[in-house]
Structure 1
Amino acid sequence: MTPFARIGGVAHHVAVDGTGPVCVLLAGLGLSWFDWDPVVPLLAPHRTVVRFDRPGHGLSAPAAAPPTATGEADRIAAVLDALGVPGTEPVTVVGHSIAGFHAEAFARLHPGRTAALVLVDSSVEERPRPTRTTAVSRILGAALSAAGVPAALGPAVRRAAVRHDPAPTALIRRVYGTSRVLRGALLENAHYGAVAAGLLALRATHPLPPGLHPVTVLAAPDGSARWERRQRALARRLGARYEAAVPSGHLVMLDRPDAVVRAVLRTGQEAA
């Protein structure tokens, strides 16, 4: 099922596959629902897999407001509400890269709706700078769009950034050849620090209830000792299990979908 749900006045593209307990997959900055495609056939026999594009990403409409940690957590809850998932039915939330911020914020703000949390090579910011440059991102997006950059270079930039990209060429053109996605990525990137700072504030006011739901940090060190130390530190901070997807680049869902599924199912079994 691939419907659209209107949330906060914005049309959100949503894809639902499989059966069983609900698992929400959240893609990173500039990525789309189909970046989880290698994971879905492995996970769908065991879980109802929900994917959605944040505003300005994938096939969703442009954002009506800049992102915040609280806003993204509430967006996940709103998507579940739109799909008719009861608030009494806890879900597993999986966040990749910057969406790790969103997934953790959801677990903190909606603990009763969270069965388990899996952070896939999540962004980590120990001392975030909450700068907001919405105007700059919009001006830059408008200038690049007027110059025809998205149509001319968008798909090529995507192909260069995602090695061994399995997505069909027509789909890449449909998504990454648009000014909407360029502007959405610029807006989200401009507020990266603010979202990280918002999550840091939530950690102080909304602790994860001990023992309520298990957490797994699935990292892709890829030879970087510093990144591995930061991911391990994140796991300790959250009282989480640490796992390494080796070999894998940052896009673990494409490089090692089996590792993602194993982490989801193992963490879900602990929750049960």
Structure 2
Amino acid sequence: MPLRKRFHHHYAEVGEVMMHYVAAGEGPPVVLLHGWPQTWFEWRHVMPKLWDRYTVIAPDMRGLGDSSRPLGGYDKKTVADDVWRLVTEHLGYDSFRLVGHDWGGPVAFALAAAHPEAVSHLSIVDV
């Protein structure tokens, strides 16, 4: 099956942001946060390596990709809150693994610092 057939695109209203995210696989959730100015697509080669064991979630963070572009709120704490709300309120997970690349690294760190009980594993790549 072609890789594109395995990626499922979704949208979630998260506060003032309409957040686009791609999900694939089954199992414990892993959230992949892209760098700047990238999108979920940076994870397209990583996701297939994980989706047999995990539910892989790769959002387009606020202002990037197919997510909406509000005028403000581009600090790491606000963007981390967007991701938190997507994963917990919209998707219903109370615990998840978190990976951040580039700009996604500080966002991942801010999310893990604010919600240490929810982030079971944290990986920051190429910051």
Q: What is aligned with 1:110?
A: 115
> Hey, what's the Cα distance between the residues in 2 that align with 1:59 and 1:73?
17
Which residue identity does 2:79 align to in structure 1?
A: E
**Higher relative contact order structure (alpha carbons within 8 Å, sequence separation ≥ 6):** 2
* 8 A contact 1:26–1:52 mirrored in 2: yes
Deviations 1:215-237 (A, max 9, x none): xxxxxxxxxxxxxxxxxxxxxxx
- Bigger radius of gyration: 1
Counterpart for residue 97 of structure 1: 102
Shift of 1:51: 0.7
Q: Does 1:83 align with 2:88?
A: no
Offset at residue 83 of structure 1 (A): 1.4
Residue among 18, 21, 25 paired with 2:28: 21
Q: Secondary structure at the match of 1:38?
A: coil
Aligned residues: 119
SS at match of 1:71: helix
More strand by share: 2
Q: What per-residue deviation string (whole Å, max 9, x for no partner) do you get for residues 160-184 of structure 1?
A: xxxxxxxxxxxxxxxxxxxxxxxxx
**Correspondence for 1:8:** 15
C-alpha contact (below 8 Å) 2:28/2:53 kept by paired residues: yes
**Runs of 4 or more off by more than 2 Å in structure 1?**
none
Which amino acid in structure 2 is aligned with residue 24 of structure 1? Answer: V
TM-score (norm 2): 0.88
Q: Give the counterpart letter for 1:83 in structure 2.
A: L
User: Alignment identity in percent?
Assistant: 33
TM-score (norm 1): 0.42
Tell me, in whole angstroms, the C-alpha distance in 2 between the residues paired with 1:54 and 1:14. 9
Q: Is the 8 A contact 1:10 1:64 kept in 2?
A: no
> Are 2:108 and 1:63 aligned?
no
Q: Supply the AA of the counterpart residue of 2:91.
A: L
In structure 1, what residue type is equivalent to 2:75? T
Aligned pairs (5 A) from 1:213-224: none
119, 125, 128: which is aligned to 2:124?
119
**Partners of 1:84 and 1:99 in 2: CA distance:** 21
Query: Partners of 1:72 and 1:55 in 2: how far apart?
Result: 7
Residue 16 of structure 1, CA deviation: 0.8
Alignment match, 2:49: 42
Instruction: State the secondary structure of the residue aligned to 1:45.
Output: coil
Query: Residue deviations 1:94-122, cap 9 Å, x none?
Result: 00011100001111100111100000112
Deviation at 1:64, TM superposition (A): 3.8
Q: CA RMSD in A?
A: 1.1
Instruction: State the shift of 1:33 in Å.
Output: 0.8
1:255 aligned partner = none
